[in-house]
């Protein structure tokens, strides 16, 4: 097969290349994490760290070359984060970090992690992935200077090996839009106003790359897949006119991913850049038509992202070939790539020796995706017969997945299909519920509580390590957990909290814990994915229909309640968060998957209620994260997401109080969704935004109870009683006393008991101080008149599993 030229004439078309946007950085044995952390702790010197990094890059190049990748990305490697690298490349190093370190690596890591004197850069999520980038700080006074050394060195390494390579850089428009005003400068400053100052710096880096031999360079502009105002589109056009006008430059490939380019396509197509790299998977598949509608990219190169770069499923090769066939007529030449950097998936399925081989062939991690890309390029160049056996194997794998009993559970599907609108609404209005709950719990005004987890103590970590190594058995481990729960309850009673928690010591991770107890989820042993810096996570893989073979939280919640007269809140992870922090199935709509998880949680909620737990919190910290990047898709998302939450929580009596929790600020986009959850109480992150969210909630007319956090658990300080009293006072201006709760911003698991204990004691003192100032009769007329719920016996033993759960490689309590 030869590629068709844009005007339909047959020309001797260039062969399609297999290429990538980026690759996992850490190495097969997580060597990078060890080297970087070794450097931080002083065990590894800078020379050794940089040598390890060079070896890892050489290893990736060898691997990609062997796999048939013909144009290799360079510059995507990072010791910490590629947005931080970009800030460094353009000289956007804050003065406090320059002052706090001696230059070079130490300044770089000071930006990432902070020092005793200097706060680090803020960290936030990279679009709708679970990768976190460091947020560049810019101000009207920022002076950019080019430092192309990293980019040039990494390109040169590849070139010396005789490889065709393409440096990958974060583009100037995305860099500016991802930045924020430097602290202490004008908070309304718009970094995009620095574009004209930044462009010459990019031009200089590109010139250096050209001088080093680069024929192409890639500039990633993922911000263009979000709805952008006209001003951003015209800034983009201006940026690429400017960069395109330079004499000494590589050809430019502008890349976008995670959603459709939509209206940003035209200005890029009209710009002098020589190529576009686009995502054609998931919602971005809409760009196939958009591209046709603008008449294609005549004379330009199109790098077609037809293999989903951020999920773990084997590609449908036939479907990808179909997309490529359509695209062939729409550009001067077409190359084949994953939709985005493979940074977001684990390295290698074949490392998962414990995974049933029949399931393993459904999966595709970075190495397998690379093979898929190479196969597709081969089919494009030599015809599909050249890969016929692989196409057949791919068809067979997809068919085996679709027909597998591990994926399909008809009982689950029937239940999900039978869900009625009534099941997704609590039978009583909030007012009636609130009255019943006041009568039942007799809480004082401004009741105090926490979000769920207590510090992961050294003792607890030791217990987990000893369980893993076999030094203690399951019973020994359980008795350690029981001891933690006893101490956490005793502390909360002593501190005077009103609604207690068991502290979540049995949960290493709030998603993994439930994934291990529900059918349909797979765990990996080596499926590490970078979350930020040297922190890697192993997200569960949601592969099949979900049900709950047995209760998941009754035992520890019930045990905690047996130790105290005060109410103990049950804490569960919500359906949206279960999806957001897993790899999700691609063979049914997210809404259907969420509904199945919600039904399983609904059973758990019912069992908790029956066992006497009167207050149940369903955490949804990820509600905002799954919000689609494009605004027109928001409504449909909020509809299914909030319905899943209500399905999980609406089957309870009026006097059972449903809580939810969210963190990471910026609630603006999901305020409507928060209202639609219909939770009786919501706890929110607020301390850092100085209660701004309380005001937003009030302005939106939020009618139910809320606990905007008064203790910032992300900072390693213990706030004073006065500070928290002040924050409660501010919250009271937005939320009336009858509906205000007092709690920290988030779970306490990352903090030490040394900080948490005094902080909570002071939080209770602050609540008491403010209570004393409330007019008589505020809050709950029944306060303290009804006795608190009596201790409950341990719940009945769990029923036997209804069916064998999917095999899991890992199972720790
Ligand atoms: N209940 C969880 C905890 O306290 C909530 C964590 C979260 O919001 N991310 O740890
Ligand atoms: Zn939280």
Beta bridge partners of 616: 570, 658
- Please tell me which residue, 807 or 141, carries the higher pLDDT value: 141
pTM of the entire predicted model: 0.91
- pLDDT tens-digit profile of 646-683? 999 999 999 999 999 998 767 888 999 999 999 999 99
619 Cβ below 6 A of ligand 1: yes
User: Given this model, what pLDDT does residue 784 score?
Assistant: 54
Pocket of ligand 1 contains residue 572 by CB under 6 Å: no
- Whether pLDDT at 166 is above 50: yes
Position in ligand 1 atom list of the atom nearest CA 746 = 8
Does ligand 1 lie within 6 Å of residue 805's CB atom? Answer: no
In short, whether 574's Cβ falls inside 6 Å of ligand 1 is no
Locate the ligand 1 atom nearest the alpha carbon of residue 571 and give its number: 1
Confidence label for 805 from pLDDT (cuts 50, 70 and 90): very low
The whole-number pLDDT of residue 667 equals 80
**Distance (Å, whole) CA 208 – CA 2:** 35
**pLDDT digit string (tens) for 269-300?**
999 999 999 999 999 999 999 999 999 999 99
| CA 779 – CA 771 distance, rounded (Å) | 9
**Rounded average pLDDT over 316-339:** 96
- Atom 1 (ligand 1) nearest CA: 452
Nearest atom of ligand 1 to the alpha carbon of 577:
9
pLDDT at residue 461, as a whole number:
92
Using CA atoms, how far residue 107 sits from 45, 49, 112, in Å, is 15, 15, 9
Higher per-residue pLDDT: 548 or 778: 548
Average pLDDT of 246-273? 97
Residue 389 has pLDDT above 60, yes or no: yes
Residue carrying structure tokens 């099941």: 423
Answer whether residue 426 shows pLDDT above 70. Answer: yes
Q: Could you give the 3-state DSSP secondary structure of residue 173?
A: helix
Percent of the chain scoring above 70 in pLDDT: 94
pLDDT of residue 790: 40
pLDDT at 13: 56
How close is the Cα of 796 to the center of ligand 1, in Å? 27
| β-pair partners for 72 | 165
Measuring from atom 6 of ligand 1, which residue has the nearest CA?
A: 747
Give the integer Cα–Cα distance in Å for 458 and 441.
35
Is a pLDDT exceeding 50 seen at residue 10?
no
Question: Distance between CA atoms of 345 and 586, rounded to whole angstroms?
Answer: 15
Q: Helices 46-67 and 104-113, interaxial angle, to 10°?
A: 80
User: Which ligand is located closest to the Cα atom of residue 750?
Assistant: 1
Residue 340 has pLDDT above 90, yes or no: yes
What is the per-residue pLDDT across 601-638, written as a single tens digit (0 to 9) for each?
A: 999 999 999 999 999 999 999 999 899 999 999 999 99
Least confident of 44-48, 62-66, 329-333: 329-333
User: Is residue 365 classed as helix, strand or coil in its secondary structure?
Assistant: coil
Q: Which distant-in-sequence residues (6+ apart) come within 8 Å of 508 by Cβ?
A: 464, 812
Q: Average the pLDDT over 173-195 and give the result.
A: 96
Whether 452 is in the pocket of ligand 1, judged by its Cβ within 6 Å, is: yes
Contacts of 797 (CB under 8 A, 6+ apart): none
Residue 332's pLDDT is: 85
pLDDT tens readout for residues 511-560: 999 999 999 999 999 999 999 999 999 999 999 999 999 999 999 999 99
Half-sphere exposure of 106 (CA within 13 A, CB side): 12
Distance from residue 712's CA to the centre of ligand 2 (Å): 11
| Ligand of minimum distance to the alpha carbon of 665 | 2
For β-strands 165-170 and 180-181, DSSP reports them as unpaired
Among 81-95, 613-627, 713-727, the minimum mean pLDDT is found in: 713-727
Residue nearest to atom 9 of ligand 1 (CA): 621
Q: What is residue 717's predicted lDDT score, i.e. its pLDDT? A: 83
Burial (CB count within 10 angstroms: exposed 0-12, middle 13-18, buried 19+), residue 66: exposed
Q: How far, in Å, CA of 774 to CA of 769, rounded? A: 9
Give the residue whose CA is nearest to atom 5 of ligand 1: 747
Give the torsion through C-alpha atoms of 414, 415, 418, 421, to 10 deg. Answer: -150
- The predicted pLDDT at position 665 comes to 62
For ligand 1, say whether the CB of 663 is within 6 Å of any of its atoms. Answer: yes
Quote the pLDDT of residue 780: 66
Q: 10 Å Cβ neighbour count for 548? A: 21
Least confident of 22-31, 405-414, 795-804: 795-804
Distance 573 CA to ligand 1 centre (A): 8
Q: What is the mean pLDDT of residues 707-733?
A: 93
Q: What residues does 313 pair with on adjacent strands? A: 363
Residue 557 CA to ligand 2 centre (angstroms): 19
Mean pLDDT, residues 578-587 taken together: 96
Catalytic annotation present for 714: yes
Residue 510 Cβ contacting ligand 1 at under 6 Å: yes
Over residues 208-226, the pLDDT tens digits come to 999 999 999 999 999 999 9
Residue 469 is inside which H or E element, if any?
Answer: helix 458-469
Show the beta-strand stretches assigned E in 24-98: 72-74
Q: Output the pLDDT for position 379.
A: 97
**Residue 71 clears pLDDT 70, i.e. is over it:** yes
Mean pLDDT of the chain: 93
Minimum-distance ligand to the CA of 451? 1
CB 401 within 8 A of CB 362: yes
- Count H helices, E strands: the chain? 28, 20
Q: How far is CA 576 from the centre of its chain?
A: 12
Does the CB atom of residue 401 touch ligand 1 within 6 A? Answer: no
Distance 338 CA to ligand 2 centre (A): 33
Show contacts of 117-120: CB within 8 Å, 24+ apart.
118/94, 119/183
Q: What is the 3-state secondary structure (H, E, C) of 83-100?
A: HHHHHHHCCCCCHHHHHH
Is 52 a pocket residue for ligand 1 (Cβ < 6 Å)?
A: no
What does the radius of gyration of the chain's CA atoms come to, in whole angstroms?
28
């Amino acid at each position: 097969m030869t590629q068709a030229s844009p005007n339909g004439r047959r020309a001797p078309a260039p062969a399609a290349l297999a290429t990538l946007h980026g690759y996992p950085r850490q190495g097969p044995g997580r060597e990078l994490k060890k080297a970087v952390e070794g450097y931080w702790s002083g065990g590894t010197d800078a020379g050794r760290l940089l040598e390890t990094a060079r070896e890892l890059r050489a290893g990736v190049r060898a691997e990609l070359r062997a796999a048939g990748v013909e144009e290799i990305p360079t510059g995507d490697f990072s010791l910490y984060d590629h947005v931080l690298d970009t800030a460094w490349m353009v000289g956007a190093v804050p003065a406090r970090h320059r002052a706090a370190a001696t230059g070079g690596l130490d300044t770089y890591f000071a930006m990432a992690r902070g020092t005793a004197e200097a706060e680090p850069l803020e960290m936030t999520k990279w679009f709708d992935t679970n990768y976190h980038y460091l947020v560049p700080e810019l101000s009207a006074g920022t002076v950019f200077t080019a430092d192309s050394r990293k980019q040039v060195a990494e390109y040169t390494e590849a070139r010396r090996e005789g490889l065709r390579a393409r440096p990958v850089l974060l583009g100037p428009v995305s860099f500016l839009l991802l930045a924020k005003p430097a602290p202490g400068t004008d908070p309304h400053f718009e970094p995009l106003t620095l574009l004209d100052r930044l462009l010459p710096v990019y031009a200089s880096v590109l010139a250096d790359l050209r001088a080093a031999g680069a024929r192409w360079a890639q500039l990633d502009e993922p911000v263009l897949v979000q709805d952008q105002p006209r001003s951003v589109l015209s800034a983009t056009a201006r940026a690429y006119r400017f960069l395109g006008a330079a004499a000494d430059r590589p050809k430019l490939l502008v890349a976008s991913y995670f959603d459709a380019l939509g209206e940003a396509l035209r200005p890029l197509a009209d710009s002098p850049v020589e190529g576009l790299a686009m995502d054609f998977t998931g919602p971005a598949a809409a760009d196939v038509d958009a591209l046709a509608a603008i008449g294609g990219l005549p004379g330009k190169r199109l790098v077609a992202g037809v293999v989903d770069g951020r999920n773990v499923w084997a590609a449908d090769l036939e479907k990808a070939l179909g997309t490529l066939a359509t695209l062939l007529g729409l550009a001067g030449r077409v190359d084949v790539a994953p939709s985005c950097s493979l940074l977001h998936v684990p390295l290698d399925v074949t490392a998962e020796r414990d995974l049933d081989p029949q399931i393993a062939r459904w999966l595709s991690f970075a190495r397998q995706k690379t093979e898929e890309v190479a196969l597709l390029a081969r089919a494009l160049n030599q015809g599909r017969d050249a890969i016929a056996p692989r196409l057949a194997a791919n068809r067979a794998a997809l068919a085996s997945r679709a027909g597998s009993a591990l994926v399909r559970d008809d009982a689950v599907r029937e239940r999900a299909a039978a869900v009625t609108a009534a099941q997704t609404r609590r039978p009583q209005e909030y007012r009636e519920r609130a009255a019943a709950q006041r009568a039942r719990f007799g809480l004082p005004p401004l009741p105090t509580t926490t979000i769920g987890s207590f510090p992961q103590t050294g003792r607890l970590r030791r217990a987990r390590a000893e369980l893993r190594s076999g030094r203690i058995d399951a019973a020994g481990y359980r008795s350690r957990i029981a001891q933690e729960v006893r101490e956490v309850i005793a502390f909360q009673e002593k501190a005077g909290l009103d609604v207690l928690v068991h502290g979540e010591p049995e949960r290493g991770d709030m998603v993994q814990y439930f994934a291990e107890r529900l059918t349909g989820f797979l765990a990996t042993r080596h499926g590490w994915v970078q979350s930020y810096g040297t922190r890697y996570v192993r997200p569960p893989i949601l592969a099949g229909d979900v049900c709950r073979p047995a209760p998941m939280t009754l035992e520890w919640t019930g045990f905690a309640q047996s130790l105290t007269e005060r109410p103990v809140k049950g804490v569960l992870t919500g359906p949206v968060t279960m999806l957001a922090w897993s790899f999700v199935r691609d063979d049914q709509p997210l809404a259907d998957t969420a509904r199945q998880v919600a039904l399983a949680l609904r059973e758990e909620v019912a069992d908790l209620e029956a066992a006497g737990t009167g207050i149940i919190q369903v955490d949804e910290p990820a509600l905002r994260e799954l919000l689609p990047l494009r605004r027109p898709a928001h409504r449909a998302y909020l509809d299914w997401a909030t319905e899943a939450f209500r399905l999980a929580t609406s089957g309870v009596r009026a006097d059972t109080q449903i809580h939810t929790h969210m963190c990471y600020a910026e609630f603006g986009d999901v305020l409507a969704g928060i209202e639609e959850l219909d939770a009786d109480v919501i706890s929110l992150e607020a301390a850092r935004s100085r209660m701004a969210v309380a005001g937003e909630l009030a302005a939106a007319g939020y009618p139910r109870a809320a606990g905007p956090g008064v203790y910032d658990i992300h900072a390693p300080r213990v706030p004073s009683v006065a500070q928290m009293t002040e924050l409660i006072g501010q919250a009271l201006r937005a939320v009336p006393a009858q509906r205000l709760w007092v709690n920290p911003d988030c779970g306490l698991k990352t903090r030490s008991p040394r900080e948490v204990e005094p902080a909570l004691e002071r939080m209770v003192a602050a609540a008491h101080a403010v209570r004393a100032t409330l007019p008589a009769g505020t809050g709950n007329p029944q306060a303290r008149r009804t006795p608190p719920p009596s201790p409950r016996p341990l719940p009945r033993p769990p029923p036997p599993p209804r069916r064998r759960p999917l095999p899991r490689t890992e199972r720790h309590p």
